[in-house]
Amino acid sequence: MSSELDDDVVIRVRHLAKAYKLYDSPKDWLKQQLIGSATNPYYKSFWALKDISFDVHRGKSVGIIGRNGCGKTTLLQIVCGMTRPTKGEIMVKGRVAPVLALGATFDPEATGRENVLIGGAVLGLKRHEVRARLDSISDFAGIGAFMDQPLKHYSSGMQMRLAFAICAHIEADILIVDEALAVGDMAFQKKCTDWMDNFRRTGTMLLVSHSPSSLTQLCDTGIWIDNGRVREAGSVADVTHAYRRATFLEKEDMRRFSHS
């Protein structure tokens, strides 16, 4: 594969795989750190992703769907740079607004206003640029006086509001959203959906959702991940139809939560 992306491709994923180390006890973890063993490790590997390949083209909106535990969030964490793949390659071109990753950088002891400065810095904005957007970010988040309260007093929905509001103000090339709308109330969901609908006219979006209707509304193409692999990819209507059909006809397989 070329080391550079084609002009039209902003995300390229090739044979991506991710394994997590699972330990039966803290003692096994300690043994692994102190002794280590390539032939007889003290952990078992759980492969959240096994072999994922796809391209995302500039200006396209791609929806990712799949059952719990299929690897969707792990995939987005790799795209956002929160974790590294165990195998495979990924390339991303352009400024990314990762709602999922940004929330993980927040300081629970800092106020919402202070976390806006932190989040803006994480996303590459200068301090004066964040300050110029502060009032607009506060209005978008809609959490009122809580902007001056420590984040540890926020609900998960309020934290998501703040993260999304920051991401909506950084003039990103790529927006990455992982079920963020699920914890918001209906009014905020509509505000975010309207904003994303407008963003996708000029930007590129990667959206994970359990809602086929949300993906159909906001996305051009779809990717169905099943047991760590791409089961189907294509038009969002075809992919969500196949996924709906499978959820009704196929018995849920708990083996996807098993390690190997």
Q: What's the distance, CA 197 to chain centroid? A: 18
Same domain for 86 and 179, yes or no, is yes
pLDDT band at 69 (very low <50, low <70, confident <90, very high): confident
**pLDDT tens for residues 235-244?**
999 999 999 9
Same domain for 27 and 135, yes or no, is no
Q: How many domains does the chain have?
A: 2
Same domain for 168 and 195, yes or no, is no
Q: Looking at the predicted structure, is the pLDDT value of residue 221 above 70?
A: yes
Same domain for 14 and 38, yes or no, is yes
Residue appearing with tokens 């159909």: 216
Residue ranges making up the domain that contains 162: 106-172
Nearest-angstrom CA–CA distance, 162 and 204: 21
Same domain for 177 and 89, yes or no, is yes
Query: Does residue 66 sit in helix, strand or coil?
Result: coil
Measured CA to CA in angstroms, residue 116 lies from 31, 134, 137, 166, 207 at distances of 41, 7, 8, 7, 23
Same domain for 116 and 28, yes or no, is no
Same domain for 74 and 186, yes or no, is yes
For residues 122-142, one letter each, b for 16 or more C-beta atoms within 10 angstroms of the residue's C-beta and e for the rest, the string is: bbebeeeebeebeeebbebbb
Same domain for 49 and 90, yes or no, is yes
Q: Could you say which DSSP state residue 108 is in?
A: T
Nearest-angstrom CA–CA distance, 39 and 37: 6
Same domain for 134 and 155, yes or no, is yes
- Residue 191's pLDDT is what? 86
Structure tokens at 188: 């905020």
Higher pLDDT, 125 or 40: 125
pTM for the full predicted model: 0.81
- Residue 108's pLDDT is what? 94
Same domain for 14 and 64, yes or no, is yes
CATH value at residue 53:
3.40.50.300
pLDDT band at 254 (very low <50, low <70, confident <90, very high): low
Q: Looking at the predicted structure, is the pLDDT value of residue 213 above 90?
A: no
- Neighbour order of strands in the sheet with 61-65: 87-92, 9-22, 44-57, 229-235, 221-226, 61-65, 204-208, 174-178, 96-98
Do the domain assignments include residue 100?
no
